[in-house]
Structure 1
């Protein structure tokens, strides 16, 4: 009869407990913390800079930030964000907020928050957003600040819309800031979006008819697939690393809350965005019409700060740089940072690069 040999006796000395942490209770506390984040989603306080609502239209709200703080710069800033994701990424958290920084420098800052569209908003198009919402918000900002011009600051798709507005109402624009704002949708510059938006594979009209408003999860999936490993795996690898190495979690939680907080996209605007911009590239050609008004970017004459990131996979350098060749502004600058679409805006690099640049550029043109 053969004698049984125990597994423990066959292991080299010292390895029998290699997967058992010395502080078991602390290990399971951290494990529980991570699992809770995975299951419930990241929880964080965001958008904390004091503000007041000064105008509303449908779901949209116009905020004025830190109204009690003294304003030392006379030209108000109206920030226009994209129709996807939430604009609080500009006011992510205390100490990591572009809006907080600008207001602390004495700027009079306003932001248009599109809100969450419902099924009844499926018909909303760029005609509505540019000619009704942005135009009326701009007039409200100028009345509030008692000025006849403003600085229009557009981010991502909000920058594309801001460029369209500035071309239609140049008399209202003192300065124009475009950040990661695509205006040229030539296929060779789109990366994977060239495949995702190709008319052979995507019929935006069919999607708009089927959904009415496109669920935020669909838009989010398309954006994440640009960098699937980073977006689906890397983010949570970073989470576990932070938890088990006792690194600060606040920034990770705030950013990942924002990433997973995408609103739906009205079907009419989605159809326009994919068809007329990505598939037909009408904007840079001067072929976009909003209620019969031709959108010609050469009508833009205001000082222009055009910002892009070398690591941006949402808006490539050529998509943003094309604006420089068509506007009529004599005072124009293309400012490029070694950062991604959101990294331009938040974090240590933004505080050292973009934020001081905005403060100095705006101060010189107040």
Structure 2
């Protein structure tokens, strides 16, 4: 290579100087802020609200109580390493060998071809996978540990194993290694600048950027379905969407989203918007948009979320359309709220809800999945202490918990891209929504955690009361459609199935493909994943799946047919314009509630 060609590969000195200056400035400012904060608040001992330390102490004592089994495990691991060394020597000499350890299909961490082709990186990869397998096998099924402690051990061991993946380090990731050589280390300098920027925007805490938030604007390229806000109170704005057909179905459709996330997961883009699709089918579609609460709403309770949330929305839809019956659909926690509302209405002899659809909704919390790791008496008490000080649970804390459930996809892939490769995150609307955190009021969230997750009282007749009314789901006779997804890690489908058995009216349970988001936001045009149906509703989830029939494509069309099959479900009226009924239009969709982002102030700096 000539000197001129070498000079072309060198980074621009002006760019290098600018990057170094930005890094130095950010680092100095953050260090000063950190020292001032430590001095002001005092340094307290780290807490262990989740009881992780105690769980591992219990694990250690159980393992040491059986030294023979521990020694046997160590010998097995040693033999695997011996086989790896032997196989690697043969591979280095050009002989074909079968790997001792291989990543699971679809493991994106090891997709670079050098993990397979290059002798050294293949050795590093297999060495890690061997250690990971033996570590997991050692702790996964220890005799004498109670189920909850074992679940904690399994979860946090997986976090540890994922964190130590060689793909997460510059010298042991072939892609990062090549980029470091190619850019003369500038990727790492830019990555450090990205890291400091994320710490800065996180007010001293690391909040990894998953996407370029500046690439999106609410109402412009996300949440774009046209409509009007026609009702508002302290907790919700209610949006009515413009009609897309000459006639609309007589029964309006009201959607209750989870308050833990913003509603526009159901209205991301035209091609995958459930809101737009429902409107295009001829439904007069309404959706609730929850407020992002501050300390002024700390007193708002779960009861308020029923009375001022779902019930208030039902009342508003009746005022806007004059209809006495409404079809309802709800997503995740919104479904928990909807079922509570239906039981309240049943006790009041209120029959205005003609049908109810539940997207990935837990009503029976006896098997909460991996989220149960974060929810025991000590953990909830710790959360309550934090919420009491602020008046709410900070949205980023809950978002971090959900991200840990899929750490390789939602944490470490961005560590590699942003900090090791030195790249800016790619603009992606789903991740824009995922990073749009929402808070939860102290009173409501405390009630929800204690009565649903810890005590599982919602499934018990009279287990909870709303405005003095005992809640009994067995009294709910409203026709119900449950859609859950087979790979859901937030609301495991076998748990949601238990809830589908509780109401006494006609119930249809459908199992969709994929996970909590992709399996629900699955438009027919995509023709993906498929779904399973069963005319029977046996007592056990496994029996349901064993007798189920698989169908190609999206469950949306099956749901539409189910809605139309209900009493007078296909009756139509002239299209309804938002604001032309009993409630006037207040502002254009998507409304002001959804536009409030917790990170907006930081992002503007």
When the two structures are superposed, what TM-score results if normalisation uses the length of structure 1?
A: 0.82
Q: Residue 289 of structure 1 is aligned with which of 442, 457, 465?
A: 465
Q: Is the counterpart of residue 325 in structure 1 residue 497 in structure 2?
A: no
Distance 2:482 2:415 in 1: 33
Distance 1:332 1:236 in 2: 44
Distance 1:263 1:285 in 2: 29
Q: Residue 446 of structure 2 is aligned with which of 254, 271, 281?
A: 271
Counting only pairs closer than 5 Å after superposition, residues 115-194 of structure 1 correspond to structure 2 as 115-170=291-346, 171-186=351-366, 189-194=367-372
Q: Residue 251 of structure 2 is aligned with which of 75, 83, 95?
A: 75
Counting only pairs closer than 5 Å after superposition, residues 161-240 of structure 1 correspond to structure 2 as 161-170=337-346, 171-186=351-366, 189-203=367-381, 204-234=383-413
Distance 1:238 1:319 in 2: 35
Cα deviation digits, residues 255-285 of structure 1 (max 9, x gap): 0100000111111111011111111110011
Distance 1:42 1:179 in 2: 30
Distance 1:239 1:253 in 2: 15
Q: CA deviation at 1:363?
A: 1.9
Structure 2 vs 1, CA of residues 131 and 239 (structure 1 numbering), >3 Å: closer, same or farther? same
Q: CA deviation at 1:300?
A: 1.2
Contact 2:387 2:442 in 1 (8 A): yes
Distance 2:235 2:415 in 1: 33
Counting only pairs closer than 5 Å after superposition, residues 6-155 of structure 1 correspond to structure 2 as 41=213, 43-44=215-216, 45-67=221-243, 69-155=245-331
Q: Across the two proteins, how many residue pairs are aligned to each other? A: 330
2:558 maps to what in 1? 357
Distance 2:413 2:514 in 1: 17
Contact 2:254 2:326 in 1 (8 A): yes
Q: Is the counterpart of residue 311 in structure 1 residue 487 in structure 2?
A: yes
Cα deviation digits, residues 186-212 of structure 1 (max 9, x gap): 1xx222222201113331432321221
Contact 2:300 2:444 in 1 (8 A): yes
Q: Is the counterpart of residue 340 in structure 1 residue 511 in structure 2?
A: no
Distance 1:64 1:237 in 2: 42
Distance 2:251 2:210 in 1: 44
Contact 1:73 1:363 in 2 (8 A): no
Structure 1 or 2, whichever has the larger Rg, is 2
- 3-state SS in 1 of match to 2:459: helix
Cα deviation digits, residues 38-65 of structure 1 (max 9, x gap): 6854632210000101111025200001
Q: CA deviation at 1:68?
A: 6.6
Cα deviation digits, residues 334-358 of structure 1 (max 9, x gap): 1001221111222433793122122
Q: Aligned-pair RMSD on alpha carbons?
A: 2.9
Contact 1:42 1:254 in 2 (8 A): no
- 3-state SS in 2 of match to 1:192: helix
- 3-state SS in 2 of match to 1:72: strand
| Structure 2: gaps spanning 5 or more residues | 1-5, 7-176, 198-208, 531-552, 570-605
Q: CA deviation at 1:160?
A: 0.3
Distance 1:210 1:78 in 2: 35
Structure 2 vs 1, CA of residues 88 and 71 (structure 1 numbering), >3 Å: closer, same or farther? farther
Q: CA deviation at 1:216?
A: 0.4
Higher helix proportion (structure 1 or 2) = 2
| Structure 1: gaps spanning 5 or more residues | 1-7, 9-17
When the two structures are superposed, what TM-score results if normalisation uses the length of structure 2?
A: 0.51
Contact 1:52 1:67 in 2 (8 A): no
- 3-state SS in 1 of match to 2:248: coil
Q: Residue 258 of structure 1 is aligned with which of 407, 421, 433?
A: 433
Structure 2 vs 1, CA of residues 90 and 237 (structure 1 numbering), >3 Å: closer, same or farther? farther
Q: CA deviation at 1:221?
A: 0.9
- 3-state SS in 2 of match to 1:53: strand
